[in-house]
Structure 1
Amino acid sequence: MMKFFSPDMKCSALVILMINSFCVFSQIPHKFLYVVGCFENGTTEVQYEYDAEEMLYMDFDRDEVVYTVPTFLVDDPSKLFENLHIYLDAKKAKRSCKAIVVLCKEEEEDPTEESDPPESIIYPSEEVELGVENSLICFVNHFYPPEIKVTWTRNGLPVSEGASLSRYYPNNDQTFHQLSTLTFTPREGDIYSCTVEHMALDRPQTRIWEPDFSHDSSVGPDVYCGVGLAVGLLGVAAGTFLIVKGHHGR
């Protein structure tokens, strides 16, 4: 359920929602959302949505608009917005974020930030074969605020080569999820771990994985079920973005 900003809401991040509902010559209403998220750590997120699907977001590090509309739907998504000053408007919003966050913090009744601890699982992206390059996925879910640190080890030693971390994505319950991947080549006896650090955790959360070359057919469905679940959650999560956390029961 979406929550809109009011002085009574707790906000580690202030979110401005501009919502237009309209019909495109049909009896079916459509919803267009322009979302600006201002975070206390100084970062700003801007996203456009159409009917709860992300269409684009701003990459301020690269100074560009990133279109996420599938190419099989629109050959050139930029043409849909060619008469709008999308990036210039996003830069203006970013400049306003610092003052807005300060105002939001001043209006908080309780300075203690509400937080939700993450859950994590680790699994390979493909069926594991000895000596064949693969990827391990550490799926971190249901955390707030959207700031986590993910580290990997192989046989107890830190490993960073081949590791990457995705953007964080929103869930419908106003928490977030994120994926970290590690490219690796399965070998007998290797043990991998994924460790997640988050402010809501009392201690780092570690998940351990080791390759199984027994080729037990009962293992396969469980692995691919996990992959399917993660992909499904990514689709569902595209419906909401950077929603302000409010007091429970308000």
Structure 2
Amino acid sequence: MQWIQCMQQVQRMQWLQVHAVDPSACSGSKCTQQLQRTQRVQCMQRVQCLQQVQRRQWIQCTQQLQNMHPRPLPTVRALVPARTPACTPALPAEPPAHTLAEVLFCQPAMPSLGLALAFDADQLFWFDFPGSRWTPRLPDLPPWPPAVEPPTQLLHDATLCQNLRRSLTALATGMLPESKGIPQADVFPVQPPVLGEPNTLVCMVGNIFPPAVAIGWQLNGVPVTQGVTHTHYTATADLTFVRFSYLLMTPADGDIYTCIITREGDNSSIIAYWVPQYSAPSEVLETALCGAAMALGILLALLGIAMILVTRRNAHG
């Protein structure tokens, strides 16, 4: 508004100069031009002052918004005029996103109900429906707060899930194919294997759907049940489930460990093997390499001597 008033004053002085209105106010064109120039300079100074004030207010506003919101604000950055120099501090990078998922499933197969709480696909708690209690995935985790999602509320949700499943099954049977995933297994030790030292084997089974698989262990073709533990099913982002199985073992030379995954209602199984692999001791390996290098050197020396003798014989003959 002040800029508009300044321009109006300049235009009024120009109009007075052209039409010679109120000549008593100023005598001569030099006086009018000087007055016009003075007012124009004042207007420009006033506009520059306003721009500085607006720039300071914008910087203060940006700093306040930055303190309130740690993420970058593109809309605020767009308010900077194109000809204003960059004077804003660098905004921090956007923190990585995390996912906290609580998934409830129900099905006709066993287990008929399942509920787990996971953070970034790592299971924290799972609900034991027969025992009506939350169970931590690791023993070091604190107990579940009793006031958060009590068992009565979860049982009501489970009943609703079963009712919906029956209704949808009656509508979709014969019209939609049954969806099944082929499990994928991977076996690996928790610690680097050392002959004769206790360790733990992990069988990670992914791409499970529906969540109804049996995981078993074998050692040299013999089933193993002692020292075996399983985790509850954990939902993943691709609408499948993952499950872990652990086996306490002491590796020995020649052992073959087998993780067998069987789906309910199928005659096929998925099998994953793990065989202990040990590197030879460094001293034995060095001795073997030195012996091989020496034997190769002797063989090359004999071959060279033989070639020299053959060459001399041909020269004299």
SS state of the match for residue 115, structure 2?
Answer: strand
Which residue of 209, 214, 217 corresponds with 1:144? 209
Residues 215 and 200 of structure 1: is their aligned pair in 2 closer, same or farther, counting only changes over 3 Å?
farther
Aligned match of 2:259 = 194
Aligned match of 1:62 = 131
Task: Assess if the C-alpha contact under 8 Å between 1:46 and 1:90 holds in 2.
Answer: no
Whole-Å Cα distance in 1 between the matches of residues 279 and 119 of structure 2?
A: 47
**Count of aligned positions:** 188
Whole-Å Cα distance in 1 between the matches of residues 150 and 244 of structure 2?
A: 28
Aligned match of 2:240 = 175
Aligned match of 1:20 = none
Shift of 1:186: 0.9
Whole-Å Cα distance in 2 between the matches of residues 191 and 101 of structure 1?
A: 42
Which residue of 143, 163, 167 corresponds with 1:99? 163
Residues 31 and 43 of structure 1: is their aligned pair in 2 closer, same or farther, counting only changes over 3 Å?
same
TM superposition score normalised by structure 1: 0.61
TM superposition score normalised by structure 2: 0.49
Aligned match of 1:155 = 220
Residues 26 and 45 of structure 1: is their aligned pair in 2 closer, same or farther, counting only changes over 3 Å?
farther
Q: Which protein has the bigger helix share?
A: 2
Aligned match of 2:106 = 38
What per-residue deviation string (whole Å, max 9, x for no partner) do you get for residues 18-72 of structure 1?
xxxxxxx979899987643222226223356789887654221322123579989
Unaligned runs of 5+ in 2: 1-67, 72-96, 283-317
Shift of 1:133: 0.6
Residues 46 and 181 of structure 1: is their aligned pair in 2 closer, same or farther, counting only changes over 3 Å?
closer
Shift of 1:95: 3.0
Structure with higher RCO (Cα < 8 A, 6+ apart):
1
Which residue of 144, 149, 153 corresponds with 1:89? 153
Shift of 1:182: 0.9
Aligned match of 1:4 = none
Q: Which protein has the bigger strand share?
A: 1
Whole-Å Cα distance in 2 between the matches of residues 96 and 121 of structure 1?
A: 36
Larger radius of gyration: 2
Task: Assess if the C-alpha contact under 8 Å between 1:69 and 1:77 holds in 2.
Answer: no
Residues 126 and 63 of structure 1: is their aligned pair in 2 closer, same or farther, counting only changes over 3 Å?
same
Aligned match of 2:313 = none
Whole-Å Cα distance in 1 between the matches of residues 191 and 98 of structure 2?
A: 38
Amino acid at match of 1:37: F
Task: Assess if the C-alpha contact under 8 Å between 1:116 and 1:200 holds in 2.
Answer: no
Amino acid at match of 1:214: S
What per-residue deviation string (whole Å, max 9, x for no partner) do you get for residues 118-169 of structure 1?
1111111111111111111111111211111111111111111111211121
Amino acid at match of 2:129: F
Task: Assess if the C-alpha contact under 8 Å between 2:114 and 2:233 holds in 1.
Answer: no
Aligned match of 2:292 = none
Task: Assess if the C-alpha contact under 8 Å between 1:135 and 1:184 holds in 2.
Answer: yes
Whole-Å Cα distance in 2 between the matches of residues 128 and 51 of structure 1?
A: 29
Whole-Å Cα distance in 1 between the matches of residues 264 and 152 of structure 2?
A: 34
Residues 52 and 70 of structure 1: is their aligned pair in 2 closer, same or farther, counting only changes over 3 Å?
farther
Shift of 1:202: 6.8
What value does the CA root-mean-square deviation take over the aligned residues? 3.7
Shift of 1:93: 2.0
Residues 133 and 93 of structure 1: is their aligned pair in 2 closer, same or farther, counting only changes over 3 Å?
same
Residues 61 and 204 of structure 1: is their aligned pair in 2 closer, same or farther, counting only changes over 3 Å?
same
